[in-house]
Amino acid sequence: MSAYYVVTGACGFVGSNIVKALNERGVDNIIAVDNLTKPDKFRNLTDCEIADYIDKQDFLSVLQDGQLDGALAAIFHEGACSDTMETDGHYMMANNYRYSMELLDYCLDQDVAFLYASSASVYGGGKVFREEREFEAPLNIYGYSKFLFDQIVRRRVLDESGDHPQVVGFRYFNVYGPREQHKGRMASVAFHHFNQYRQDGKVRLFAGADGYADGEQCRDFVFVDDVVKTNLAFLESGKSGIFNLGTGRAQSFNDLAVATVNACRELDGKSPLSLAGLIAAGSIEYMPFPDALKGKYQSYTQADLMKLRAAGYEEEFATVEQGVTSYVKWLAR
């Protein structure tokens, strides 16, 4: 029997896309781990093949009891609370930090490859997005939970000599794409723009703030297909480290809105319009910047890909225009 691949958060956004990509590569000996207290996420796996499903809390007991010793090839740890507005620090640290520590301990002990989701939120409000301690200063407890685990990985694995299994963390920037519909308000801006336009004929962006003009706040928007390809390429390479996973391009929310609306217009047989044209047509409008986000919002992100490229990953990443066009077709299917 071939070794198993574990995907935590397997019913979630990135996790389910990893499961599907493994299937497309002929791998179905997959153990899906998740929490289905909110059951609608199961739909993300209905077109996937897995060997077993284990509840998130039961999975730790299965590992501690030794039931999977010698049976695992790798763990893709994608499960986490990703709500950046979550205020329960006890829950966030138990769910994102302590749970990750349990999995890391197991993988180090059992010589199992461990690939996990970190986050660009570790950089906080800084303007330099490089995988170095001096640029890391998270703005919320979510970012801190990811930041702290990265520090442990550095201390226990990356800064230590000697043999250890592959351990690689990916600092995801703003990921968007298929299978995120269950995330509600935490789904990507592209998802919300699509639904806003289909429902109201317009999309809404934040007005200018933090020195930026209306809709000109910039993020590194990365298509989920690229995130998955990077994860699988690193598993094959066996290389360890903590890497940014974005496109290396900052694009504005205006760019995202224009791409989304024009992709919808194309489906409706209409020609594309410029930003000014869409504003004039009432298809894009701006709303006041929320008080609750002031001081906690990243107005600009752009992944520094130097370490990723130095590790040998050479694939190009989709632009907003390319990725959103593909995503809108998927949403409209």
Q: 3-class SS at 200? A: helix
- Spatial CB neighbours of 67, under 8 Å, sequence gap ≥ 6: none
> What is the SS3 assignment for 70?
coil
**Residues 320-330: b if buried by 16+ CB within 10 A, e if exposed:** beebbbbbbee
Q: What three-state secondary structure class fits 137?
A: coil
Measured from the Cβ of residue 133, the count of other Cβ atoms closer than 10 Å reads 10
Beta strand extents in 66-199 (DSSP E only): 72-77, 113-119, 167-172, 174-176
Structure tokens at 221: 């928007």
Q: Is 212 helix (H, G, I), strand (E, B) or coil?
A: strand
User: Closest by alpha carbon to 229, among 105, 104, 295, 318?
Assistant: 318
Amino acid, single-letter form, for residue 173: F
Catalytic site residues? 142, 183
